[in-house]
Structure 1
Amino acid sequence: EVAGVCIPHTPLAIAAAEAAHASLPEVVTAHASRVFVFASLAARREGCACEPDTLYVAAMFANMGLSAAYAHSTLRYEIDGAHAARTFLQHYGASRGVLDELWCAIALHMTPGLPMHVSPLARVLSSAVRTDLLADNLGAYSLAEREQIVAAYPRGGHFKERMIDAIGRGVVHRPQSTFGTLSADVLERVDPDFCRTNFCGLILGSSWKDE
């Protein structure tokens, strides 16, 4: 139990944690663990129903697309993570509705403004990610809750820089996938050769011939 939240120890949850730890660096898996607790507390505070195992899988797999398994993918890393989570839960007999909700929550968790309108799972997952990365809504959690979460899953030195580096390593081979996403900001910082695609340039440079 961390900050009053029971960490799932079902076979499904254990397998999800093992998959994350086998595929991702510690900075990312610790982030995922904190996200689960923050999201669970947010769900409790809002009175919304989020099945613990499903939320745990969402947290563990949200960044799975950054792993070496997707070193040749050209998709957004969030999509890779959503696909991986859906495949994982399918093996445990999850319903189509749960699979779809999980997929959308992970696919959209780094897209500002959308998760809150999709489902409770998407809302609390995205909110918890923003809390751990950006300190958004940090004041909604008590000091005791924050201290217990960080004690259980330490951020460690230079967490911010290490997390940016982890995202950068996961998307540097697929720069076109970052168009219109927060990952473009990461590549702009970590890759000196990155050239951001410009939406206005795409419109103005299209083959349409306006009169």
Structure 2
Amino acid sequence: MKRSIAGVEIPDSALARAAFEHVRGIESELLLQHALRTFLFAALTGFREALDFDADLLYVGALFHNVGLNLRFSRSPNRFEIDSANEAREFLRAHGVDEFAAEDVWNAIALHTTPGIPDHMSALVTLVSAGVQMDVRGARYYEFTAQQRDAIVHAFPRERGFKTRLIEAYARGMEHRPETTFGTVNADVLDRWDPDYRRLNFCGLVLGSEWPN
């Protein structure tokens, strides 16, 4: 793997190498390439906004943020973000990372699909979300130069049909637990993917509750 891309150094510590090998063993190539691009876009955002962040922890957060979509969690009752965050925290604890740092990574992964919250938390939480949103939906696309975008996609390509294949990967990772998408952007995924999916409505839950008034 090329170690410097678009002016960003790919972490090469023992922790970073172990994280990469761990995730590579359980995640599809589509999601692994997405995770690596996420790290790069996140790091560039951090540089541009002069945020103080730990590159190793950002790398781990980016690598692990979608592992909860894996088939091994097909019986999980959790949101996939929670399974992803739990997996990352267990990995970090096993590698001797202190609890505060592990919790920061946990928060970053757990909140990466919750708009409006990450920007008001730690730099790590902010940046994991920013990297994901850039690669998935092009958030703040033109704040990156064409040279930066091209270098990142050259190093870690977006596969043909990436947009639709990513939505499919999300859907297949959540279709067995549709109730966990309530109140999140994940409901949009199942709404498009599954013709039988009926999303919960907060107003309907309030008006239909057991309370008499």
Match for residue 105 of structure 1? Answer: 108
Question: What aligned pairs does 1:126-141 form with structure 2 within 5 A after superposition?
Answer: 126-141=129-144
TM-score normalised to the size of structure 2? 0.96
Match for residue 97 of structure 2? Answer: 94
Runs of 4+ residues over 3 Å off in structure 1: none
Match for residue 72 of structure 2? Answer: 69
Q: Deviations over 1:104-162 (max 9, x none)?
A: 11000010100001111111111111111111111111111111000000002100000
Question: Which runs of 5 or more residues in structure 2 are unaligned?
Answer: none
Corresponding letter in the other structure for 1:20: V
Q: Deviations over 1:44-92 (max 9, x none)?
A: 1111111111000000000010011211001000011111100000012
Q: Deviations over 1:176-201 (max 9, x none)?
A: 00001111111111112211111111
Match for residue 116 of structure 1? Answer: 119
8 Å contact 1:23–1:64 — kept in the other structure?
Answer: yes
Question: Which runs of 5 or more residues in structure 1 are unaligned?
Answer: none
8 Å contact 1:23–1:68 — kept in the other structure?
Answer: no
Query: What is the CA distance between 1:6 and its match in structure 2?
Result: 0.7
Q: Distance in 2 between matches of 1:154 and 1:106?
A: 23
Aligned residue among 171, 175, 179 for 2:174:
171
Query: What is the CA distance between 1:173 and its match in structure 2?
Result: 0.4
Tell me whether 1:54 sits opposite 2:57 in the alignment: yes
TM-score normalised to the size of structure 1? 0.97
Tell me whether 1:81 sits opposite 2:84 in the alignment: yes
| RMSD, aligned CA | 0.9
Corresponding letter in the other structure for 1:104: N
Total equivalences in the alignment: 210
Tell me whether 1:184 sits opposite 2:187 in the alignment: yes
Q: Distance in 2 between matches of 1:68 and 1:151?
A: 29
Q: Any idea what SS the aligned residue of 1:180 has?
A: coil
Q: Any idea what SS the aligned residue of 1:23 has?
A: coil
